[in-house]
Structure 1
Amino acid sequence: MESKLFCWILLSLLILSCFVSQTNEKMQGQTLVYLYKSRLKQNFGVDTSLFKVINHVNEANVHPQVGLKEEDRIERLPGQPLANFSQYGGYVTVHKSAGRALYYYFVEAHHSKNSLPLLLWLNGGPGCSSLAGALLELGPFRVHSDGKTLYTNKFSWNYAANVLFLESPAGVGFSYSNTTSDYDKSGDSRTAADNYVFLVNWLERFPEYKDRDFYISGESYAGHYVPQLAHTILYHNKKANKTIINLKGSIIGNAVINDETDEQGMVDYFGSHAIISDQDVYQIHKYCDFSPNATTQSRECEASYGALEDNIIDINVYNIYAPMCFSSDVTTRPKKASELCGDTIQVWRDSPSTIIPLLKEFMSSGIRVWIFSGDIDGRVPVTSTKYSINKMKLPVKIAWHPWFLNKEVGGYTQVYEGDLTFATVREAGHQVPSYQPARALSLIKHFLEGKPLH
């Protein structure tokens, strides 16, 4: 009953008529000053050696889960069409003494649930709800414009896997802590540790998935969450000298990977797409310090970024070609209940300037690594991702070429030695499965099956 109530509260505030074209105004505002102010944040630029020693996962936070699976079963969501798969939602405690618990929504596969892999999805932010991913991107249902009824998403990723959506960290969506100060201690390290504890407990609750092939996926700032969780899993598998979680691969979309090249790529994307002038691009590259060690920026840099802001303020940078939303039926902020990208978390204590070393670690460990990019996203654009991958200096295994779906180009792809695959998704914005659901489903099927795009 509790999980149904939470789902109903969320569904009641999701009116899709404008959401995708008007993604959280607060997030877009943060984009405008991303380069020259991000380096001034005290908690940015932490060295990646932080992740060479994982915070100890206290065994006291691994709890008995007997009987909890059936308590979490959702018979039917409000306004839901008939479905041929089981779904669950509920809380998993990750820190008992602090009262920290993470909320999940789980949908079993449409078919072959006993053999298809387990896929975890994480939205980014930091601070964005993964239920947005479930209901607006890749989950089994979408919300009608009346905000009251659902319809079937025929391109849901549970046609390819058993899909687990996790609200992370505590303070995001319906995940919470009874210790208010926890929200001011949020950061990459704690998120990775809590997500790992969640998985260990969840697999006790759903033991049939303990030995199942496991993959981690996500978008945007999950470019940090996904690799750090994967690293934590590998660490504990090695420490225990056994496979605790059967991790096989990770896939991240329009992902924050390497601050320096992410920022350079964003500026160049705006310039190459006729959004800012060549002069603005030149000025920013001349006067702005993109290095992760920069703590101040010149007045010339700030002035150049002011010009950039003036030119992008009236478009949606998450999809540069999307129409803006002017419907009077949609409020700027939800009137009540959980926000899709809330502001409970005001402090982020650690965010390394790059996660490239972790990607290299996975490749050397035989973990499948894919990175994809919607090619009309201006927030973490395709140029940023290409620049970041280029920093890895990997030899090309399969040269750049188009991949197809229904005889149309779905995007372009290149495979590197070490089996890192990069793929673009044509005509997709920041939330790829929202804008191009068929192409996104084809992409995830190829990834899970280990088949190259063609």
Structure 2
Amino acid sequence: MRNVIIIGLILNSVLCVSPIEDEVEDWPFYEEHNFKTYSGFVDLYEGKQKIHYIFMESIESPEEKPLIVWFGGGPGCSCMLGLISEIGPFVREKFSDEFKFTKNQYSLHKLGNILYLDIPAGVGYSEIHDEGYVWSDVQTGIDSYEAIKNWLDGFNEYKDREMWIGGESYSGMYVPCTAEVIVQRNMEGQQIINLKGILVGNGVLVNDDDFFDLWNREYMIKRNFYDLVTQNIMLISCKKWPQSASCQRALEKQAIVMKDLNPYDVYGYCYGDSSIEQKGRYRFVGDSEEAPCLDVGPLNNFFNNPDVKKKLRIPEERVWEACSMDVFFGFDRNKDSHVLMKYLHENGIKILQYSGNSDDIVSIDYTLASLKLIEGIQLISRTPFSNKETNQLAGWIMEYNYLTLYIIRGAGHLVPYDQRANAFQMFQEFINRQ
């Protein structure tokens, strides 16, 4: 992993956000609704970046609800996946061959007004016009701050509103890095952003591939996905002698097991990519013909539909991809976010980490190991919690001195997609804490 920190040059930004011009009168394929929706661009650094945003008011009492800023993962994946599949007011029906929206009774929009930002530039519809730009964790935090600040200049009524920043997967880097910049800028007396807390699901905390491999393998071993001999070799030989012949044979067996397994939900199933544009292409870096298990095809088809682009005021020539390989391959992972947790807590930022216990992309074992690296962290309690509607076990709550970790039973990498009711209850309980 590269460790060169890119210092971002903050130039005067050009405000171009206009609620009047950006309001969407007819959201594509939504049924009749009474909340306002917007789609537009935030210009950064005199037009070198055009960050696409979608803003949707809360379904209930928007004037009373906080502002929630939602990021995508990757690095390089669009936050529109969260809007369309997880937390939006209407979501795509699971596993449907056709692209159909159904009302989401557990939408996060019941708890807040949500600003979706496709960041960094180059993700989704967002544009980059800077040949010298280098994507990085540090720079993404700076750019995100600038985008939020400029957006608030256009939507003045939200400037003093309580704000939460959330996201999943690589947002485990984006979100804390952005929160760090907000805290620092507030201290410097710049435009005050009323950041209340952060919400991070199955998030990257330690930006190291060997650390990932170690703890994701540990996750699979504990759940007996490998035979006992292979487990013992992985636990002993692979840790002491990773290049040994026995370890290499064990890793070959691991590859065989993973071949037909969905790493985003190890107890779920794989679904092929149904988009015409994506046929024959890998969906995520590291995928092979045996591995991809996320069907982003319908989303690619939806956001590249000319009628959808027209209604959202997107340039006709702009091609939307669920995840940008240019961003992924070009990204400088130059920071770890677990080192920020103590700092954010000490500056009054509430921290929710949550994790599905069926995820092997960012496993719960990886998350727990990452949290142990935080200086001075202490586990206070671990208690089960039940779904209030069904009285069934929903998961476990681990209270630390710096943060709260929810482990959601039966959820994979995308918790609000796999367990909508339990995820909503978690968000509601945490956001409403005094």
Question: Which interval holds the TM-score relative to the shorter structure?
Answer: 0.7 to 0.9
Which of 427, 438, 441 lines up with 2:410 in the alignment? 427
The equivalent residue for 2:310 is none
The equivalent residue for 1:247 is 195
Distance 2:258 2:235 in 1: 18
User: Does the residue aligned with 1:120 lie in a helix, a strand or coil?
Assistant: strand
Distance 2:119 2:251 in 1: 32
- Aligned AA (2:396): Y
Give CA-to-partner distance per residue, 1:18-69, whole Å, 9 cap, x none.
Answer: xxxxxxxxxxxxxxxxxxxxxxxxxx2528xx59xx74532x12x3447x11
User: Does the residue aligned with 2:336 lie in a helix, a strand or coil?
Assistant: coil
Distance 1:57 1:302 in 2: 48
Displacement of 1:302: 5.2
Which of 385, 388, 403 lines up with 1:405 in the alignment? 388
User: Does the residue aligned with 1:170 lie in a helix, a strand or coil?
Assistant: coil
CA contact (8 A) 1:111 1:159 kept: yes
Q: TM-score, normalised by structure 1?
A: 0.79
Q: How does 1:53-452 map to 2 (within 5 A)?
A: 55-58=8-11, 60-61=12-13, 63-65=14-16, 68-96=18-46, 99-143=48-92, 145=96, 147=98, 149-180=100-131, 182=133, 185-240=134-189, 244-258=192-206, 259=208, 261-286=211-236, 298=243, 300=245, 303-325=249-271, 332=279, 334=297, 337-352=319-334, 354-392=336-374, 394-406=377-389, 407-418=391-402, 420-450=403-433
Distance 1:188 1:328 in 2: 32
Going from structure 1 to structure 2, the CA distance change for 1:279 and 1:192 (only over 3 Å counts) comes to farther
User: Does the residue aligned with 1:235 lie in a helix, a strand or coil?
Assistant: helix
Distance 1:285 1:146 in 2: 42
Give CA-to-partner distance per residue, 1:62-106, whole Å, 9 cap, x none.
Answer: x3447x111110112222101121111111111225x31111111
Give CA-to-partner distance per residue, 1:104-125, whole Å, 9 cap, x none.
Answer: 1111111221121111111111
Distance 1:373 1:78 in 2: 32
- Aligned AA (1:276): Y
- Aligned AA (2:433): G
Displacement of 1:404: 3.2
Residue ranges of structure 1 left out of the alignment (5+ in a row): 1-43, 291-295
Instruction: Give the share of equivalent positions with the same residue, in percent.
Output: 29
Displacement of 1:325: 2.6
Going from structure 1 to structure 2, the CA distance change for 1:369 and 1:328 (only over 3 Å counts) comes to closer
Distance 2:111 2:328 in 1: 36
Q: How does 1:3-82 map to 2 (within 5 A)?
A: 44-46=1-3, 50=5, 55-58=8-11, 60-61=12-13, 63-65=14-16, 68-82=18-32
Going from structure 1 to structure 2, the CA distance change for 1:174 and 1:327 (only over 3 Å counts) comes to closer
Distance 1:219 1:329 in 2: 24
Displacement of 1:214: 0.7
The equivalent residue for 1:9 is none
User: Does the residue aligned with 2:63 lie in a helix, a strand or coil?
Assistant: coil
The equivalent residue for 1:37 is none
User: Does the residue aligned with 2:224 lie in a helix, a strand or coil?
Assistant: coil
CA contact (8 A) 2:72 2:167 kept: yes
RMSD over equivalenced CA pairs, Å: 2.7
CA contact (8 A) 1:227 1:355 kept: yes
CA contact (8 A) 1:267 1:281 kept: no
Distance 1:65 1:181 in 2: 23
Give CA-to-partner distance per residue, 1:117-147, whole Å, 9 cap, x none.
Answer: 1111111111111011100111111235464
CA contact (8 A) 1:124 1:222 kept: yes
Distance 1:303 1:205 in 2: 58
Distance 2:432 2:119 in 1: 27
CA contact (8 A) 2:384 2:396 kept: yes
Displacement of 1:329: 8.2
CA contact (8 A) 2:59 2:89 kept: no
Give CA-to-partner distance per residue, 1:296-353, whole Å, 9 cap, x none.
Answer: 9736555543332221111110001112336978864657642212323253443246
Distance 1:328 1:387 in 2: 36
Going from structure 1 to structure 2, the CA distance change for 1:103 and 1:326 (only over 3 Å counts) comes to closer
User: Does the residue aligned with 1:179 lie in a helix, a strand or coil?
Assistant: coil
- Aligned AA (2:150): N
- Aligned AA (1:115): E
Going from structure 1 to structure 2, the CA distance change for 1:286 and 1:353 (only over 3 Å counts) comes to farther
Displacement of 1:237: 0.9
The equivalent residue for 1:19 is none
CA contact (8 A) 2:16 2:43 kept: no
Distance 2:204 2:227 in 1: 25
Q: TM-score, normalised by structure 2?
A: 0.82
- Aligned AA (1:321): Y
CA contact (8 A) 1:275 1:312 kept: no
Distance 2:424 2:274 in 1: 33
Going from structure 1 to structure 2, the CA distance change for 1:416 and 1:149 (only over 3 Å counts) comes to closer
CA contact (8 A) 1:113 1:162 kept: yes
Going from structure 1 to structure 2, the CA distance change for 1:312 and 1:450 (only over 3 Å counts) comes to same
The equivalent residue for 2:293 is none
Displacement of 1:228: 0.3
- In the alignment of these two chains, the number of paired residues is 391
CA contact (8 A) 2:140 2:174 kept: yes
Going from structure 1 to structure 2, the CA distance change for 1:152 and 1:65 (only over 3 Å counts) comes to same
* Higher alpha-carbon deviation: 162-171 or 323-332: 323-332
